[in-house]
Amino acid sequence: MHARLILFFLLLIAPWRLVSAHDDSLLARGKYLMESVVACANCHATPDSNREGAFTNNLGGGRVFDEPPFRAVAPNITPDAQTGIGRWTDAQIGKAIRDGVRPDGSIIGPPMPIGFYRNISDADLAAIIVYLRARPPVHHVVEASTYHVPLPPNYGAPMEHVAATSTRDTVHYGEYLANIGHCMECHTPRGDHGQLITAHLGAGGQVFNGAWGTSVSRNLTPDESGLKRWTDAQIAKAIRGESREGMHYKPPMAYAWYRNIKDSDMRALIAYLRSLKPQPFAGQR
């Protein structure tokens, strides 16, 4: 009888233990992604009222991207019920991230890289949502973004299911990481209407102005003007924020987060970059 009671008790708590372990695993994965390759806080930061030009990486939003086509303001994505996403369901958060559609049906515009986030696997999307739910709520009212160009009616059919990418296929997994890290959003030239010229994927040349001055995205393809003569160690060092000469690169690249990319993922990213079609640098020299 005593053994049966113990077994009954274990059966009662086993589902809870499994769910708890599952949630812990998702949170760990979400923390890794958000604090490394995905780096949402690089944009969804809050201006620091005590330091001009500085930001608090709390996901409370408020960072302004003032460009000719738009004045976009990063929203508050903390679980604050009034000013953040605290009242959104998991499905609504997932749809916003992967489909670019808010709960009210409105379309999320640039610079949110929805075209790349559509590649986020179901498992990693769930992990990111668990991480967002676990963040401290920040009560921060953020102004609405304004666009001077029409937004698309949608970014394609709703993403119902995205399977996980096997880490055994190093190049394919590296492409997956580059997609969810939206590397090519900045390292691909744009046309006259702001569209990415995917025929020159990775050729760089975009110009970014900010408090740091001017940055130009580098050619990431294995061309002479790109990474052909770079070693893997030099590429890894650059992604983490330091040039071959030992100088620190300027923003807007999310070096503070990319330095947390684990070595195995870095090797996959580099393998993918080396697989790109060589392209001449797309910007002015």
Q: Which residue has the tokens 């049966």?
A: 4
For the chain, the domain total comes to 2
Answer yes or no: is pLDDT of 160 > 70.
Answer: yes
**What is d(CA 101, CA 109) in angstroms, rounded to the nearest whole number?**
9
Distances (CA, A) of 37 to 12, 179, 275: 39, 10, 19
In a domain, 148, yes or no: yes
Q: Are residues 73 and 181 in the same domain?
A: no
Q: Are residues 107 and 198 in the same domain?
A: no
**What is d(CA 216, CA 210) in angstroms, rounded to the nearest whole number?**
12
Percent of the chain residues past pLDDT 70, beyond the cut? 91
Collect all residues with Cβ–Cβ distance below 8 Å to 201 and sequence separation of at least 6: 184, 188, 221, 276, 277, 279
Q: Kindly report the CATH number assigned to the domain that includes residue 273.
A: 1.10.760
Amino acid 229 reads R
- Of 66-70, 168-172, 225-229, 232-236, the range with the lowest mean pLDDT is 66-70
Average pLDDT, stretch 164-175? Answer: 97
Answer yes or no: is pLDDT of 15 > 60.
Answer: no
End-to-end C-alpha distance for the chain, whole angstroms: 82
Average pLDDT, stretch 241-269? Answer: 94
Give the pLDDT confidence score for residue 119 in this predicted structure: 98
In a domain, 13, yes or no: no
Give the pLDDT confidence score for residue 194 in this predicted structure: 80
Quote the domain boundaries for residue 273.
166-285
Q: How many CB atoms within 10 Å of residue 283?
A: 15
Answer yes or no: is pLDDT of 242 > 50.
Answer: yes
* pLDDT band of 7, cuts 50, 70, 90: very low
Task: Decide: pTM greater than 0.85.
Answer: yes
Q: Are residues 153 and 251 in the same domain?
A: no
Question: For residue 69, what is the enclosing H or E element?
Answer: none
Q: Are residues 192 and 160 in the same domain?
A: no
